[in-house]
Amino acid sequence: MSNRIKKIKVGMASCGIAAGADELYKILEANGNGIPLEEVGCIGHCYAEPLIEVETDAGSIFYSVTDTKQATIDNIFNLGEASRFGISEIRAAKENVKITRLCGRISPTDIDEYIANGGYEALQKAQAMSSAEVIDEVKISGLRGRGGGGFPTGMKWGFMASKEADEKIIICNADEGDPGAFMDRSVMESVPHQLIEGMLIAAYATGSNKLFIYCRAEYPLAIKNLKIAIDQAYERKLNVINGKPLEIIIKEGAGAFVCGEETALIASLEGKRGMPRFRPPFPTDKGWNDFPSMINNVETFANVPVILAEGGAEYAKIGTEGSKGTKLFALAGDLENPGLIEVPMGITLAEIVFDIGGADRDSVKAVQTGGPSGGCIPVELFDTPVDYDSLKSLGAIMGSGGMIVIGQNRCMVETARYFLDFTHRESCGKCTFCRVGTKRMFETLERITAGAGEIADINFLEDMGTKVRSGSLCGLGQTAPNPVLATLCYFKDEYLSHIENRQCEALECPALVDVEIKQDKCIKCKLCIKNCPVNAVSDDFVIDNTLCTRCNSCIEVCPKDTIFRCKKGDGYYSG
Amino acid sequence: MSTDYSCLEQIDKNPGNLIKGLQTIQAEHSYIADEAIVATANYFSMAVVEVEGVVSFYAQFKRTQPGKFQICVCDGTACHIKGSTLMLDWISTELKIADGETDADGFFSLETAACLGCCSLAPVMSVNGKVFGNLDRKATLKILKEYRKK
C-alpha cells in the first residue's frame, strides 16, 4: 500500500476514557502489527469520542470509533471511508484554535514532542528580555484573568514584580469547581507543559521563586500528567530561572467550591479551612504564609506562551475593545456537539450555540454562562457578543467558561433551584447573608417547585437576592443570587405559572406533573408494569398518579414511546 | 486494637500539610475515623477540634466507611439538566440506599459529586473512579448488575 500508516494517536483524556478509549487502545495494540500507538489528550470534539488520529504519509485521518467490532477496526487499518471524522466547515470557520493548538495533537507526557512543536521557545525568548519587558508584553496583549474575574493580567504581574520579599509565590488556580466546566481539566490533561511554561515565564517576570498548582482532587489524570511534566521540566533544568532552580508543587484540593476564591485558596494551601478573608491586604501584599503571592488561572497561564511567542500586539489583534484574544468554553447541555471550543472574544452567543454547538434553533430556551455564579441569557438575546463587559450588562458573567445550553423542555425555576442548592451548600458560612440568605432563597425555590409557592415569594427572592449580593465578602456570595435574579428577569412567567396555576410548563418539576399512557399506541408488552418500582401501573395499563413517584422508569423503558408526562390533574388518581 | 496510621510519617510535620495528611489517611483507609482525627492531631501537634474543623469543611473527606464499590453520580449542571436526579433515583431504588449511604453488606455506597468534568457525556456516574457516560436507565442498571457479579 502506498499510503503507509506512520502512527495512531488515541484521545485518552478523561472524556475519551469514559467513552471507551482505553479498551479501544488495547484492541488497536493487539491488531496493529506493531504500528506505533500514542496516548494523546483531547481535541475538544467530545461528542465524537472515542476519537483517533491516523497519521499517514499523506496526512492525518480522524476516525470516530464508537464500537470495537472487527470490521470497524479493519476499516481503520485499511484507511476506509467509514466512520471518518471531520470538523464541520462552519465550526472550523468560527473557531480560532491557538491556546489549544496542541491539545490532543501531541502526547501530554512527551516533553520532546512539545519542544518539537515550539514548546518552551517562549520561555527562552522571555529570558532574553528584561522582566519589565515581559510584563509590558503581557500588558500590551490586553489579557484578562480567565478564571472569571477578568482582572488585567499584566497589571497583576506588575504589582507582584514591585514587591520585595525573601519568598515570592506564584499560585495556579486549577480548582475548577464550577459544575459544568472542564476547560482547565482539558488543558492540564492534554498540554501540561504549556501551563508549566506559562508559570515559569510569570516567575521570571515577577521574580518569584516558588510555584504552586492547586488542583482539585477530582482530576486524577490531570494531576498525573502534571507530575510527569514537572519531573521532565526539572530534568531539562527548565525550572532554573536566573540561575536558581524553582520548585513547582502540586497541592490537591479537597472539594470546596469556595476555594476558587483567591484568599480561600490560600487558606486551603496553608492546610486550613478554605474561608475567604477581607481584602486588602491583597494576596500580592500578603498571601501564602504572609509572603506576596500571585494567583492566576490555568487558562491565563496557558495563554502566556502564545503571547510571548507572537508578541502582545499581534495577540491583541483578536477580540473586542475590552476583551482580547481567544477564550475556551466548555459547551454542554441540550445540543448536538458538546465539547471544548476556542473562539475569538466578541463572537456572538448564536454563533457558539447554533453554528459550533449544532443546537436546534427552535428548541433552545437559554444559555447559562458562568455556572452557579452566572446567569442565563434567553435566546432572544443571542446576538450579544461574548466579552466580559457585554455579558455582565445582561446580569450574567463570563465566568471561567462553562456554557450550558438549556432546551425548551427545561424548567427555569428548577434550574435556579439547582444552582441555589449548590451555592447554599458550598457557602463557607462566614457571612450571614450568604450563609442564611442563600439557604432561605433555596427553601423558597423548593417551595415554588413543589407547588406551594406564594406570590410574596417572588418579592422575597428579589429582595433577599440583592441583599446577599451586597452583604457577602467574596465572589461566591456576591454572585450566588445571579441565577435567581436572572431567571426572574427573563422568565418571570414561569415563576408565576408555578405559583398561580400550580403548573410547570416544561413538565419537569415532579410535584407538578402527572404521567399517563397513550392507550391507542400501547402494545401491552408489560415492560412498564415490570419496571415500575412502586407498582403504580395497573394490569389494564393505567398509571395511578397517587402511587407514582415520577421516576420516569416506565417512560425510559417503553419501546413505543407511548408514556408521557402531562399537566398536573390530567392523569388518573385512585384516591 | 488501634488502627495503624503510620502512613502519616511520610509527610512533613508542618501543619500546612494537614490536608495532605488527611488525604493520605483516606487513600489508605478509605475514610476518616474518629481515631484517625486524634492520630492526625497528635502528629501535627494541633487541637483535635482544628482537625475536625478541616475534615468537616471539605466535601472530599468521608467520615463513614464506604462500600467496596463507590458509586458517584455527577450532579454538575450538564448532568443535572440531562436527568441526573432521575438517575440517582433509579440507583437509589435499585440498591435501596439513599445519597450518602452504604448498603447493608458494605458492597455499594452512593454519593453525588458537584462535577466530574465529563460534561459532554452527560449524564455520567463513576464507580471507584471509572467514569461511565451517556447513561439512560437501562445502561445504569446494567452497570450495577455487572458490578454486583464482582
Q: What is the pLDDT of residue B1?
A: 46
Cis peptide before A344 (omega within 30 of 0): no
Q: What is the pLDDT of residue A2?
A: 59
> d(Cα B126, Cα B144) in Å, to the nearest integer?
11
Statement: residue A240 has pLDDT above 80: yes
Q: What is the CA radius of gyration of chain B?
A: 17
Q: Is A135 exposed, middle or buried (0-12, 13-18, 19+ CB in 10 A)?
A: buried
Q: How far is A3 from chain B (nearest CA, A)?
A: 34
For residue B77, give the nearest of A17, A179, A556 by CB distance.
A179
Q: For A7-22, what is each residue's pLDDT tens digit?
A: 999 999 988 998 889 9
Mutation for testing the A interface, residue in B84, B118, B130, B143 having most A CBs under 10 Å: B118
> d(Cα B103, Cα B125) in Å, to the nearest integer?
18
Domain with CATH 1.20.1440.230 in chain A: 412-500
Q: How far is A508 from chain B (nearest CA, A)?
A: 10
| Interface ipTM > 0.95 | no
Whether B86 and A179 lie within 8 Å, measured CB to CB: no
> d(Cα A153, Cα A141) in Å, to the nearest integer?
9
Q: Contact at 8 Å (CB) between A376 and A366?
A: yes
CA distances from A301 to A304, A399, A569 (A): 5, 16, 55
**A459 Cβ contact list (under 8 Å, min separation 6):** none
Give me the total of CB pairs closer than 8 Å, taking one residue from chain A and one from chain B. 153
Pairing of strands A5-11, A375-378: unpaired
CATH architecture of A412-500: Up-down Bundle (1.20)
H helices present in A427-504, as ranges: 432, 438-449, 455-470, 475-479, 482-490, 492-500
Question: A-chain residues within 8 Å CB-CB of B16?
Answer: 269-271, 289
Q: How confident is the model at residue A62 (pLDDT cuts 50, 70, 90)?
A: very high
Q: How far is B41 from chain A (nearest CA, A)?
A: 13
Q: Contact at 8 Å (CB) between A434 and A476?
A: yes
Q: For A348-371, what is each residue's pLDDT tens digit?
A: 999 999 999 999 999 999 999 998
Q: For A298-331, what is each residue's pLDDT tens digit?
A: 999 999 999 999 999 999 999 999 999 999 999 9
For residue A256, give the nearest of B23, B59, B132 by CB distance.
B59
Question: A-chain residues within 8 Å CB-CB of B60?
Answer: 217, 253-255
- Across A493-522, average pLDDT: 96
Mutation for testing the A interface, residue in B12, B46, B77, B80 having most A CBs under 10 Å: B77
State which CATH number among 3.40.30.10, 3.50.50.60, 3.10.129.10, 3.40.50.11260 fits the domain covering B69-149.
3.40.30.10
Q: Is B149 exposed, middle or buried (0-12, 13-18, 19+ CB in 10 A)?
A: exposed
- Across A220-243, average pLDDT: 96
Q: For A416-454, what is each residue's pLDDT tens digit?
A: 999 999 999 999 999 999 999 999 999 999 999 999 999
User: Closest Cα partner for A324 from A172, A122, A137, A127?
Assistant: A137
The label of the residue with cell 448488575 reads B145
Domain boundary assignment for chain B: 6-57, 69-149
Whether A17 and B131 lie within 8 Å, measured CB to CB: yes
DSSP string, A501-525: S---TTS--GGGEEEEE-GGG----
Q: For A387-418, what is each residue's pLDDT tens digit?
A: 999 999 998 888 889 999 999 999 999 999 99
3-state secondary structure of A358: coil
What number of residues does chain B have? 150
> d(Cα A109, Cα A97) in Å, to the nearest integer?
21
Task: Pull the grid cell for residue A210.
Answer: 516558588
* Cα atoms in the Cβ-side hemisphere of radius 13 Å centred on A206: 32
Q: For A119-176, what is each residue's pLDDT tens digit?
A: 999 999 999 999 999 999 999 999 999 988 899 999 999 999 999 999 999 999 999 8
Nearest CA in chain A to B15: A271
The label of the residue with cell 471507551 reads A20
Whether A273 and B53 lie within 8 Å, measured CB to CB: yes
Q: What is the pLDDT of residue A177?
A: 83
Whether B121 and A19 lie within 8 Å, measured CB to CB: yes
Mutation for testing the B interface, residue in A17, A504, A553, A563 having most B CBs under 10 Å: A553
Write down the CATH number for the domain with range A326-407: 3.10.20.600
Q: How far is A317 from chain B (nearest CA, A)?
A: 31
> d(Cα A199, Cα A205) in Å, to the nearest integer?
10
Q: How far is CA B79 from the centre of its chain?
A: 18
- Across A493-504, average pLDDT: 97
User: Closest Cα partner for B93 from A3, A476, A481, A533?
Assistant: A533
For residue A273, give the nearest of B54, B90, B136 by CB distance.
B54
Superfamily assignment of A5-86 in CATH?
Glutaredoxin (3.40.30.10)
Task: Pull the grid cell for residue A122.
Answer: 517562549
Question: B-chain residues within 8 Å CB-CB of A340?
Answer: 120
What is the full per-residue pLDDT of chain B (150 aa) written as tens digits?
478 899 999 999 999 999 999 999 999 999 999 999 999 999 999 999 999 999 999 999 999 999 999 999 999 988 998 999 999 999 999 999 999 999 999 999 999 988 888 888 899 999 998 899 999 999 999 999 999 998
Write down the CATH number for the domain with range A512-567: 3.30.70.20
H helices present in A163-253, as ranges: 183-190, 192-206, 220-235
Mean per-residue pLDDT over chain A, rounded: 95
Q: What is the pLDDT of residue B119?
A: 86
Topology of domain A111-315 in CATH is: Rossmann fold (3.40.50)
Question: A-chain residues within 8 Å CB-CB of B113?
Answer: 218
